[in-house]
Amino acid sequence: MIAVGFDGNTVDAAPLDELRALAPGAIVLFGRNVGAPAALHALIAELRALETPAPLIAVDQEGGRVARIGDPVAQLPAAMAVGAARDVDACERLGTLLGRDLARIGISVDFAPVADLALDPANTVIGTRAYGSDPLLVARLAGAFARGLETGGVAATLKHFPGHGSTAVDSHVALPHVALDEATLRARDLLPFAAAISADAAQIVMVAHVVIEALDPQRPASLSPRILTGVLRDELGFSGVTCTDCLQMDAIARTPGTVAGAVAALAAGADLLLVSHSPALAREAAGAIAAAVDAGTLPRERLLEAARRVRVLRERYATPQPYGGALDADLPLAIAQRAVTVVRGALRLHDGRAVTVLSFEGGGAGGADDVRSERPSLSAALRARRWRSEIMRVALDPDDDDVELLLSHLPALGERNFVVVTRRAHLHPKQRAAVERILDVIPAAAVISAAEPYDALLWPRAQTVACIYGDDALALAACADVLSGRATAHGSLPVVPDAS
């Protein structure tokens, strides 16, 4: 009933003896475990051979900025880009493509899709990982992607139940509270989960470390019998495996602690307990669970029920069965192109002119644990399409002196295409002011929002504004295709930005 992560990206570097002794129900792979394709294949084969039936091999492979594995797995656009494209059938086919590629290398569980809503502009932990803010749209797309993953050959996971989109607090660093009234929560945040569960779209539900005050003001959902058992099981009728988000996240690790949290989560109704970074801590949690059963504070029936659910899933995926039908490998790029959303103007470069890309970046919209060794750029994507292009990188919150230096340099560049790539300027006041000053000097500069689309209405006098929902290579390639006339933008905003 424990899912554990470890360090090492080769068979020799992995703690196989320690994992064999722990006998976890699942093993979670991260970017730190992903080396060359051949090494990854060999490592997964060894992990699957640790026990019979094989432990579940799980990964967070959502698309966009959360993608632990690169080649040979298809890279997908962010969920919010899929939401902008608004094609439910294509979303399901994306899931099948990804599921097939994961199953081919021995992965049995994908911790996707995200069924949270993008409701708070300050929420960057979810952000473009959500399909949008409309619960009906998110319900259709999350359900479709889950079905696609299962068709492809892996178990899908709805997350983060009962919703992480209404709070800007990141549960990796603190315990968020959602203070919604229960009627709003059920009609909005819970709706995508309820719809997917009703359609039997996914075999796993991941529960968030978020206090939902209307349901249980005392405990996070991941430790709450009211939510894990009362709402998820009894009300919504979910019969699959419930798993916690990582119990080493600070929302739990600080209080009550990872080990005590594992016992409490199991008692509340969780079946699979995620300890993503420490086999030693996972072993300590296993000992605490056994001690609680021996002491009578954790019912043995609850232990056996959880073990049975996890074992059923392990037996089902003991032998990989990837989808064998025909799939379109070009679909991810096609969806990313269609997702590009032109809010104002015409997103088209002037032929014959060089391009200067002014890119605000730092931590940017990318994740720290993904497959990129270096940040891709719109300029590089344009050069790959035979445009003369240069990039000028600017801090997310640039100093006044840096902005002055930049502005003094721009007029000397002469007639050319200028493209400004913003990243969450709505949360970075200095970036917002810098873009305003760039538009003073270059009024025709196109503004591209490369994260959530909340930047779209910040500069009403910008002649061209577009949103691409990510700064990964796929999103930037799609943007370059639209700018250069190779593709047409058809996206519509999946969230409603605020002009303030």
The catalytic residue positions are 172, 245
Q: What angle do CA 229, 232, 234 make, to 5 degrees?
A: 65
Residues near 182 by Cβ (< 8 Å), separated by ≥ 6? 214, 215
Q: Is 136 helix (H, G, I), strand (E, B) or coil?
A: helix
Q: Is beta strand 177-178 parallel, antiparallel or unpaired with respect to 241-244?
A: unpaired
Q: How far apart are CA 95 and CA 147, in angstroms?
A: 7
* Start-end of H helices in 269-299: 279-295
CA distance linking residue 314 with residue 307, whole number of Å:
10
- Selection from 71, 27, 69 nearest residue 51 by Cα: 27
Rounded to 10°, the helix 258-268/300-316 angle is 90
Helix (H, G, I), strand (E, B) or coil at 367: coil
Beta strands in 236-296 (DSSP E): 241-244, 273-275
Virtual torsion, Cα 59, 63, 69, 72, nearest 10 deg: 120
Peptide bond into 113 cis (omega under 30): yes
- Tokens at 499, concatenated: 């002009």
Q: Residue 326 in contact with residue 361, Cβ under 8 Å?
A: no
